[in-house]
């Protein structure tokens, strides 16, 4: 086993991890950036659409290009980037168990920033284990990264941004999208994306769900039905659709396994996708030296992931004495304000409240820690 | 206040086995478990019903009687406990080990266990995956495997079927005595009047002992295990190594390297689903159930040394459990001096699954008949055998409160 | 049960909704309780896929719902050969 040491280890090279690494490296800290994929960028590299959001957040730029820009900066700053690198565990004393290009490492870090992102929610219904039922993210990877179609006729479950964008990308790639179904009475994602789908003539059935997938060996169809106010299927409203692929776009949940391993405290926050590691304004968890940023700290967007990464990178560097606290605070203010700006509007407001709830819970957790 | 004849404290494999036997014998019994069944070591262990790893004598005799009971249990349980006779091979890697194992096997044969020693060629022929670093192996057909959680669940559900009361998430906080006799058990959910209390808390049994002023020499001995992805049939027997036997009974025979101190020894079984369980360690680190990177490395290095084909297989999990270790390797069973109605059923070290069936029987006999139909020397199992042991020295030597 | 009719909550281990409810009836109130009674969450993905769904089926009342998940290394499948492949560690054990 090879043993390595670093000041700051950043796990995950998505927008959060890249931003964290950039900030930490700017302060002069020795930074290692680790990601299991062969290319950095996390979710960004799958996003060939133009981003929404404000100018600071590269609105109008394609996700792919945002990733490239961040990566260039990371390289300019001399961050050691280890790709094709799985962090399989975190052991006592912040020792990471790592397999990098078929070799085994133990990496001892003074600070660890977890930026592992999120993963897709699964949904169970009769037939959901049939081949042909897949996550929308997996479908997106197939078309945007591997350039193959997951199927010819698709039913999309979920009308959040992911469901809408992936549906559109599937159509552009040549597949037919038979319909989108959405359990809620209204569409979950942004109107601009929904409009594109509708213009292409694809129906979005709100207050609907999938009852079961049809088929013997693989998906040959699906039965959908209308839901009443209590979210129960309305008898007689069943409809059969002939499709060969069912894509699930029913939300993401934070990828928190490594965080659980550190022993940090969690709080269940449905609005952010599930149990979230408690953290303060510095993005530090209840374990000293362990930080979180991006979707792992609550599923939001690439833009907020970047700001949280910036905060975590600055705070981790400050805690190592690489930044004076007045310098650090001045910088943190910028990113905190940007985060505030992002968490406005009907979508942002819910997340802002959820995040505030987490910060509040964190205060009590720290109090527990001191008194125990 | 509710009232039963017997309260069994602990919902591990031992507590559930005892409750099952008591309930079946018509005793009114409650299982009181602070968390859930399988919360302790009984879900953090291997799957072996091992005879070959038992020290010849009382230990082996108990295991031999115990293994006979599992087919019967299966008939009485609704759920499959995956009891399967598989046999075991113990890899021998040096000439010195060969000598030790030859003597060990001979003593086992004298005790009616059919163990043979194979040379390298014969061993590899029998177990083609075992073509690594070894000079030979023992082979015994008597050993079996079982599903630890389903076994515990089997006892638990059958106990309920025979009328046992299950009190999960109920923590025993104290035990009230009256005139030197157990009177009631005090829990966070109320008191339970009873005549008997059975301490089946495994590695946690000393804490229950302390409630009544008893010193119980049981130390948590951590074992770490690595789980692989499901595989087609990899090995058709349990595989151990001679170091495993040494680590269990004679750690003094091991060297002084870090791996030796961790008690690295091979245990490999395959579950019904095809996952390989690869062990393990024997460490005295207090009540710490974390896994370590060193153990992962050493366990796999050692295993792949004996079974090189493991290198192409993926691991999916590691876990650790606490064996309830006693100084002489035997469990502590039966009555205790000075407190009428307090019965011990703990300290099974690495053999709790194997010995669960016989333990359930014995404890029930002791409570119902005041004697046992088996001719085991119960004094060798009683807590009283440790009356001259210095508990402070024991706790220090085995890092109980590390 | 057949894939085309069963409602598998745990895909890896093919554990149905019915089996999970049976475990709850037997007293399970936590993911660990379900796991020990059914083998759900013990598959290749180690519960990443099914844990959320099981959690939502657990009785809301009473028992500690904020129990710690038992997350253990490795969080991804890792090849044994890769863990052992490294020159500097040869001889560390034997
Ligand atoms: C279809 C779709 C469209 C979107 N559109 C937009 C948009 O228009 N605007 C916007 O702002 N956001 C958008 N998002 C959201 C955005 O992509 C995510 O919020 C963002 O990528 C989260 O960043 P992150 O750095 O937290 O995680 P990720 O980008 O998910 O990166 C995490 C990285 O960590 C790696 N990793 C995880 N665990 C380990 C481990 N143990 N070892 C090694 N590596 C590990 C992962 O493989 C991954 O590369 C979209 C998302 C989707 C799915
Ligand atoms: C790595 C490893 C591999 C093993 N392999 C094997 C094998 O192959 N074959 C074999 O036969 N054995 C094996 N064992 C040994 C076996 O697992 C144990 O001997 C057995 O599980 C002990 O069972 P138990 O019921 O005594 O203890 P436990 O299962 O630990 O049960 C004790 C219970 O008591 C409860 N409790 C504690 N305090 C209180 C309280 N105050 N109030 C209420 N409840 C309380 C706990 O919550 C716990 O559930 C292995 C052990 C390990 C660690
Ligand atoms: S879906 Fe349950 S373990 Fe993978």
Residue B157's domain spans which residues? 2-44+149-217+328-397
Listed in order, strand segments (DSSP E) in A53-171 are 80-82, 85-91, 95-100, 103-114, 118-120, 133-135, 153-157
Query: Residue B371 burial by CB count (10 A; 0-12/13-18/19+): exposed, middle or buried?
Result: exposed
Interacting residues of A61 by C-beta distance below 8 A, sequence separation 6+: A50, A51
At which residue do the structure tokens 């390297």 appear? B257
Average pLDDT over residues A56-84: 85
Cα(B2) to ligand 1 centroid in Å equals 55
Positions in chain B short of pLDDT 70: none
Query: Which domain-ending residue is among B296, B325, B354?
Result: B325
Residue A369 binned pLDDT confidence (cut-offs 50, 70, 90): low
pLDDT band at C88 (very low <50, low <70, confident <90, very high): low
The answer on B380 and B305 residing in a single domain is: no
Same domain, residue pair B173 and B108: no
Distance from CA of B298 to the nearest CA of C (A): 6
Tell me how far the alpha carbon of residue B394 lies from the centroid of ligand 2, in angstroms. Answer: 20
Name which residue sits closest to atom 47 of ligand 1, judged by CA: A36
Residue of B152, B312, B314 with shortest CB distance to C78: B314
- Counting ligand 1 atoms within 8 A of each CB, the residue from A251, A302, A303, A347 with the most, and so the one to mutate, is A302
Please give the tally of structural domains in chain B. Answer: 2
**B300 Cβ partners below 8 Å, 6+ apart?**
B226, B278, B310, B315, C80, C83, C84
Q: Which ligand is nearest to the CA of A261?
A: 1
B309 with B335, same domain? no
Q: Which residue has the higher pLDDT, A39 or B119?
A: B119
Do the domain assignments include residue B273?
yes
Domain annotation covers residue B66: no
| Residue A327 host element (H or E) | helix A325-342
* Shared-domain flag, residues B130 and B223: yes
Q: What CA–CA distance (Å, rounded) separates B238 from B353?
A: 15
* C3, C11, C69, C75: residue to mutate for ligand 3 pocket, most atoms within 8 A of CB: C11
DSSP class of residue B283 equals B
> Residues of C with CB below 8 A from B315's CB?
74, 77-80, 83
Query: Is B402 contained in some domain?
Result: no
DSSP three-state, residue A35:
coil
Do B96 and B239 fall within a single domain?
yes
Domain coordinates in residue numbering, chain C: 8-85
User: How many Å lie between the alpha carbon of B36 and the closest alpha carbon of chain C?
Assistant: 7
**Closest partner CB to A92 (pick from B290, B296, B318):** B290
Q: Which ligand is nearest to the CA of B317?
A: 3
What's the ipTM?
0.93
Backbone angles phi and psi of A111, in degrees to 5: -135, 145
Based on the fold, state whether residues B181 and B299 are members of the same structural domain: no
C45 lines ligand 3 (CB under 6 A): yes
Q: Does residue B295 share a domain with residue B247?
A: yes
Specify if B9 maps to a domain: yes
Residues 6 or more apart whose Cβ sits within 8 Å of residue B399: B219, B284, B285, B286
Residues B343 and B388 grouped into a single domain: yes
Query: According to DSSP H, which parts of B146-186 are helical?
Result: 148-161
Same domain, B105 and B13: no
Last residue of a domain, one of B325, B347, B362: B325
- pTM here is 0.95
Of B281, B308, B325, which residue sits at a domain end?
Answer: B325
Of A88, A130, A274, the CB nearest to C4: A130
Are B164 and B127 part of one and the same domain? no
Confidence tier at A45 by pLDDT (50, 70, 90):
confident
- Flag whether residue B312 sits within 8 Å of chain C, measured between CB atoms: yes
pLDDT in tens, B346-362: 999 999 999 999 999 99
CB contact under 8 Å between C79 and B43, yes or no, is no
Question: What burial class does residue B32 get, using C-beta atoms within 10 Å of its C-beta: 0-12 exposed, 13-18 middle, 19+ buried?
Answer: buried
pLDDT of residue C5: 78
Residues B95, B99, B105: CA angle, nearest 5 degrees: 135
pLDDT at C94 over 70: no
CATH (domain of B186): 3.50.50.60
- pLDDT given at position A6: 97
Q: Are residues B206 and B233 in the same domain?
A: no
pLDDT per position as a tens digit, A197-236: 999 999 999 999 999 999 999 999 999 999 999 999 999 9
Mean pLDDT of all residues belonging to chain A: 93
Q: Please tell me the number of the ligand nearest to residue C46's CA.
A: 3
- Nearest neighbour of C78 by CB, restricted to A88, A119, A258: A88
Nearest Cα of chain C lies from the Cα of B183 at a distance, in angstroms, of 28
Is the per-residue pLDDT at A33 higher than 60?
yes
Whether residues B308 and B235 share a domain: the answer is: yes
CATH number of the domain residue B276 falls in: 3.30.9.10
Distance of CA B178 to the CA centre of its chain: 33
């Amino acid at each position: 086993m090879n043993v390595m040491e670093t000041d700051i280890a950043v796990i995950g090279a998505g927008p959060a991890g890249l931003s964290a690494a950039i900030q930490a490296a700017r302060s002069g800290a020795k930074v290692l950036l680790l990601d299991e994929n062969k290319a950095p960028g996390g979710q960004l590299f799958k996003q060939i659409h133009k981003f929404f959001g404000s100018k600071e957040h590269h609105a109008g730029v394609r996700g792919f290009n945002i990733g490239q820009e961040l990566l260039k900066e990371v390289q300019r700053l001399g961050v050691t980037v280890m790709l094709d690198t799985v962090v399989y565990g975190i052991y006592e004393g912040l020792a990471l168990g790592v397999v990098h290009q078929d070799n085994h490492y133990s990496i001892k870090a003074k600070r660890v920033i977890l930026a592992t992102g999120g993963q897709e929610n699964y949904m169970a219904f009769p037939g959901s284990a049939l081949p042909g039922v897949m996550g929308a993210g997996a479908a997106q990877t197939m078309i945007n990264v591997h350039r193959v179609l997951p199927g010819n006729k698709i039913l999309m479950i979920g009308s959040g941004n992911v469901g809408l964008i992936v549906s559109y990308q599937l159509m552009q790639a040549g597949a037919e999208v038979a319909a989108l179904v959405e359990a809620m009475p209204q569409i979950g994602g942004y109107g601009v994306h929904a409009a594109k789908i509708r213009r292409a003539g694809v129906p979005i059935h709100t207050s609907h769900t999938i009852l079961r997938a049809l088929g013997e060996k693989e998906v040959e169809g699906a039965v959908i039905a209308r839901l009443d106010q209590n979210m129960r299927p309305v008898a007689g409203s069943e409809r059969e659709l002939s499709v060969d692929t069912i894509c699930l776009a029913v939300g993401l949940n934070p990828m928190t396994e490594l965080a659980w391993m550190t022993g940090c405290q969690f709080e269940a926050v449905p609005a952010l996708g599930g149990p979230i590691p408690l953290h303060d304004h510095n993005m530090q968890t209840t374990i000293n030296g362990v930080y979180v940023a991006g979707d792992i700290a609550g599923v939001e967007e690439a833009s907020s992931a970047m700001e949280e990464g910036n905060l975590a990178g600055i705070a981790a560097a400050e805690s190592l004495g690489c930044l004076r606290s007045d310098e650090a605070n001045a910088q943190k203010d910028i990113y905190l304000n940007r985060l505030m700006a992002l968490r406005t509007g009907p979508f942002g407001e819910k997340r802002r409240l959820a995040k505030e709830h987490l910060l509040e819970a964190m205060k009590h957790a720290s109090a527990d820690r001191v008194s125990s | 206040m509710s009232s039963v004849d017997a309260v069994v404290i602990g919902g591990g494999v031992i507590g559930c086995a005892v409750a099952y036997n008591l309930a079946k014998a018509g005793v009114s019994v409650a299982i009181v478990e602070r968390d859930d069944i399988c919360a302790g070591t009984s879900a953090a262990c291997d799957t072996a019903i091992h005879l070959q790893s038992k020290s010849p004598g009382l230990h082996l005799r108990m295991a031999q009687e115990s293994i006979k009971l599992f087919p019967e249990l299966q008939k009485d349980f609704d759920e499959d406990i995956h009891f399967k006779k598989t046999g075991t091979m113990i890899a021998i890697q040096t000439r010195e080990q060969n000598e030790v194992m030859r003597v060990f096997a001979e003593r086992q044969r004298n005790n009616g266990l059919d163990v043979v020693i194979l040379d390298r060629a014969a061993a590899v022929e029998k177990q083609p995956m075992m073509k690594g670093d070894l000079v030979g192996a023992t082979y015994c057909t008597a050993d079996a495997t079982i599903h630890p959680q389903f076994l515990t669940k089997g006892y638990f559900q059958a106990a309920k079927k025979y009328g046992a009361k299950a009190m999960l998430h109920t923590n025993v906080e104290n035990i009230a005595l009256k005139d030197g006799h157990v009177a009631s058990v005090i829990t966070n959910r109320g008191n339970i009047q009873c005549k008997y209390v059975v301490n089946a808390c495994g590695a946690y049994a000393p804490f229950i002992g302390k409630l009544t002023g008893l010193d119980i020499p049981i130390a948590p001995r951590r074992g770490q295990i690595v789980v692989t992805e499901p595989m087609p049939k990899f090995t058709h027997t349990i595989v151990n190594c001679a170091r495993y036997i040494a680590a269990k009974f004679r750690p003094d025979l091991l060297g002084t390297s870090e791996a030796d101190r961790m008690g690295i020894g091979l245990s490999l079984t395959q579950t019904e689903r095809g996952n390989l369980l690869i062990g393990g360690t024997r460490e005295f680190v207090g009540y710490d159930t974390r896994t370590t990177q060193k153990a992962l490395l050493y366990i796999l290095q050692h295993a792949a040394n004996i079974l090189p084909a493991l290198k192409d297989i993926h691991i999916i999990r590691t876990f650790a459990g606490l064996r309830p270790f006693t100084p002489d390797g035997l469990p502590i069973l039966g009555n205790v001096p000075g407190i009428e109605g307090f019965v011990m059923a703990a300290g099974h070290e690495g053999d709790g699954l194997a010995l669960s069936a016989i333990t359930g029987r014995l404890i029930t006999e002791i409570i119902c008949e005041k004697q046992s139909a088996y001719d085991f020397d119960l004094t060798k199992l009683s807590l009283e055998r440790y009356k001259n042991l210095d508990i402070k020295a024991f706790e220090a030597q085995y890092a109980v409160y590390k | 049960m057949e894939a085309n009719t069963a409602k598998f909550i745990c895909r890896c281990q093919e554990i149905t909704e019915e089996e999970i409810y049976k475990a709850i009836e037997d007293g399970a109130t936590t993911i660990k309780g379900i796991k020990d009674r059914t083998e759900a969450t013990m598959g290749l993905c180690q519960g990443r896929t099914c844990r959320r769904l099981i959690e939502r089926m657990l009785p809301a009342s009473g028992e500690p719902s904020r129990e710690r998940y038992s997350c253990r290394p490795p969080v991804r499948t890792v090849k044994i050969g890769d863990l052992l492949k490294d020159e500097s560690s040869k001889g560390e054990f034997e």
